[in-house]
Amino acid sequence: MLGNKWKVANIMNALGFGSLSEFGDFVKRIVGGFTISDEEIETFTDLLMSNERKLKNHPDKITREDVVRIYKESVGEPNE
């Protein structure tokens, strides 16, 4: 996982952002607010979890709960 953090830091630096959070704030400003329903999260999670090609590229074993958390965090929902 450390390698991925290094890659993300390099990308953020190349784009002129000091952190991933700063980049997230920028995206929110240009895209505006949007919401995603729990039903949509479940559908997207089902699609991802059924795609072995995508899952094998993840450096660590990822669970369904991980995917749901990632989707929710990506739209600014707090952790439960």
User: Residue 36: is its pLDDT beyond 80?
Assistant: yes
Same domain, 16 and 46: no
Same domain, 70 and 41: yes
Read off the tokens for 59: 């450096």
3-state secondary structure of 34: coil
User: Residue 28: is its pLDDT beyond 90?
Assistant: no
Same domain, 16 and 55: no
Rounded CA-CA distance 47/53 in Å is 12
Same domain, 79 and 41: yes
* Average pLDDT value for the chain: 83
Contact assessment for residue 49 and residue 55, using Cβ atoms and an 8 Å cutoff:
yes
Domain range for 79 is: 35-80
- At residue 68, the pLDDT reads 92
DSSP label of 58: S
pTM of the entire structure? 0.58
Read off the tokens for 1: 């996982």
Rounded CA-CA distance 45/25 in Å is 24
Same domain, 24 and 39: no
User: Residue 72: is its pLDDT beyond 80?
Assistant: yes
Rounded CA-CA distance 13/34 in Å is 26
Instruction: Name the pLDDT band for 49 (thresholds 50, 70, 90).
Output: very high
Same domain, 15 and 48: no
